[in-house]
Amino acid sequence: MNARRVLAVARKSLSQFRHDRRTLAFIVVMPLFMVGVFGYTFGGSVSHIRTLVANEDAGARAAEVLGNMEGDTLDLVVATDLAAAREQVRLGRAWAVLHFPANFTATVMTRNATIGLVLDGTAPVITAAILGKLRAAIEATLATAGSAPLTIERNYVYGSEETRSIDAFAPGVVGLAVLMVTTLLSVIVLVRERAGGLLERLFATPLRPSEFVLGHALALSLLAVLQSAVVLAAAVLLFQVQIAGNLALAFVFLLLFAAGNQGLGILMSSAAKNELQAIQFIPLILFPSLLLTGVFFPLEAIPPTVRPLSYAVPLTYAADALKGVMLRGWGLGELWLDAVVLVVYDVLTLAAAAAMVRRQA
Amino acid sequence: MSPPLAFRTRGLTKRFGSIEALRDLSIEVPRGVTFGLLGPNGAGKTTLLRLLLGLTRPTRGSASVLGKPLPPGAVLPRIGYMPQDLAIYADLTVEENLALFGRLVGMADDRIASRTAEVLALVELAGRRGELVSKFSGGMRRRTSLAAALLHDPDLLLLDEPTVGVDPELRATFWTYFGDLTAKGKTVVITTHYMEEAARCDLVALLHHGRLLARDAPAAVKAATATTNLEDAFLALVRRQGVEA
């Protein structure tokens, strides 16, 4: 292994990107776009859910509950007629109808009150938001009346009441952006070098396959770090994403992940004859990474029969590590297993790439 | 003692599936000559160069390059290679290309700088060293590729069709330079299908369908076939081979 040759290859790759401003822009803009889309779509909780209220309560308790439901989540609209309100839900003009019967105040303190809830249950997130808001309002109302049935005392070990979806997604999105850009660029760069006879020309010098692969991985991993820095900066500045732990450690994990992706990209490039074919790998990389890795859905939400697949996708470990660092402030003491798996991923893919790249030349 | 050889092959054979790209080639090339590999497309010229560089392995037979048996590993820094498809980075500048190949063969940065100036003067690209190769014409790319092959002042130059698309004046400059190199004991191996160009070589080998038809000085090849130019000599040899076959 000759360090000078490794660095020569890395320098070559970085110079290529320096001259290719459009690709460089893609490397930065694409993940920014991803963060933007995820940030704005998943950033807040649901809001302005049109909810009709048929309040027939003779007392004041229902009004108190309704008062405790004020906020952005629900748009409470007074309905005079329950049947008409129900029709509004059927027509898709409202998500729910809240019905407080005439005896609500009278029965609420004796704990046998009923609230009628008519729901369009086609959007579980909205159903959950309405139920959540209602429960919280009832709890608050009973507490004010000195009649809370029980109190849940929350102690957050990590995160807080303030933790939003975007905070939880951000680490995974950074990992996903690095995956997409590094793997895809790697495939495309290799396809291009092979087609132009450049790989063969390089191997007509003393350059060894392992040196080529390492140099290539070094350059693209540096780009991945640059990209991650931009993405994280955007996440922090635009969406005030929380970072609880050591950012340097997050970058170490990103580097480990990016390096292995280069190896994977080189291996994949052997199956593509041109850039068009290389692009067809996008869904192959994207879908398992989106769905199986815990970036958007916790692994616990993935059926046990499919879950072994999750553990075969490297982003699962990268995302877990990044979440550990950014959300929980964990260090290597807690995240050593992710680190070990990613190092094994690097060694396996880069070694296989080195063995294959010469044959491809 | 026999003179040192640039390369030698013994029964060298290369098959690609059912195609025999090179068949039982035994040839010796001394150092300090320009050696022309002649033949039409598919004759096996490029395959021979790739075998000598260790880019592909022989199916049968053996070869040694600059005294070292294949694969050439240790002697690669002493070989300069210009492939037919040029293989230079279009998205790098001329000097970035040269620096890359210089570093890969182990040249120090200051030597790369001084040699870059020399070889770019030779290929008449001195004023364009900072330009991206993607902006160049085919001929200029070829000159850049040649400059990369010459940069480290190799003992053995393997040039695959180096003068295609190069204007006659510059082509003459190249040949003068190749003469200078051989005078210094370097060996220049050139594949070409320009027969008149091959006549300028000290030695030529005529290949057809992977077989060696002849290997000698151009004048001797012409004399042996009672022809006045290498093209006729080649055709005569092909006919003779056909009769023998």
The β-bridge relationship of strands A96-100 and A49-55 is parallel
A5 contacts in B (CB within 8 Å)? 103-104
Q: Report whether the peptide linkage leading into residue B71 is cis, meaning its omega lies within 30 degrees of zero.
A: yes
Nearest CB to A12 within list B53, B100, B132: B100
Work out the minimum CA distance from B157 to partner chain A, whole angstroms: 12
What is d(CA A73, CA B70) in angstroms, rounded to the nearest whole number? Answer: 75
Q: Is A355 on the interface with B (CB under 8 A)?
A: no
DSSP string, B18-63: TEEEEEEEEEEEESSSEEEEE-STTSSHHHHHHHHTTSS--SEEEE
- A200 and B101 within 8 Å at the Cβ level: the answer is no
| Mean of pLDDT values over B66-90 | 90
pLDDT at residue B145, as a whole number: 92
pLDDT at residue B243, as a whole number: 59
pLDDT at residue B147, as a whole number: 94
Nearest to A139 by CA among A153, A155, A127: A153
Backbone dihedral region for residue B96 (phi beyond 0: left; psi -120 to 50: alpha; all else: beta): alpha
Map out the domains of chain A with their CATH numbers: 3-43+164-360 (no CATH), 49-144 (3.40.1710.10)
Residues B117-147 pLDDT 10s: 999 998 889 999 999 999 998 888 988 999 9
pLDDT-derived band at B101 (thresholds 50, 70, 90) equals very high
Q: Which amino acid is at A231?
A: V
B105 contacts in A (CB within 8 Å)? 205-206
Instruction: Give Cα separations from A126 to A122, A123, A291, A298 (angstroms).
Output: 8, 5, 22, 19
pLDDT-derived band at B245 (thresholds 50, 70, 90) equals low
What is d(CA B115, CA A312) in angstroms, rounded to the nearest whole number? Answer: 51
Residue pointed to by tokens 């005439």: A102
- What is the count of residue pairs from A and B with beta carbons less than 8 Å apart? 65
pLDDT at residue B70, as a whole number: 84
Map out the domains of chain B with their CATH numbers: 5-196+203-233 (3.40.50.300)
Nearest CB to A16 within list B55, B77, B91: B91
Q: Which amino acid is at A342?
A: L
State the virtual CA torsion across A336, A342, A343, A344 in degrees, nearest 10. 110
Of A126-135, A320-329, B74-83, B192-201, least confident by mean pLDDT is B192-201
The residue of chain A with its CA nearest to that of B54 is A204
The predicted complex's ipTM stands at 0.90
To the nearest whole number, what is the mean pLDDT of chain B?
89
Work out the minimum CA distance from B109 to partner chain A, whole angstroms: 11
The residue of chain A with its CA nearest to that of B98 is A12
Work out the minimum CA distance from A225 to partner chain B, whole angstroms: 23
Residues B180-226 pLDDT 10s: 889 999 999 999 877 778 888 999 998 998 888 888 888 888 888 88
Residue pointed to by tokens 């102690």: A155
Nearest to A306 by CA among A293, A320, A295, A315: A293
What is d(CA A62, CA B83) in angstroms, rounded to the nearest whole number? Answer: 85
Select the more confidently predicted residue: A64 or A231: A64
Work out the minimum CA distance from B95 to partner chain A, whole angstroms: 11
Select the more confidently predicted residue: A243 or A350: A350
pLDDT at residue B2, as a whole number: 61
Q: Which residues pair with A53 in a beta bridge?
A: A78, A98
pLDDT at residue B228, as a whole number: 87
Residue to mutate among B78, B88, B100, with most A CBs inside 10 A, is B100
Record the pTM. 0.83
B96 contacts in A (CB within 8 Å)? 12, 15
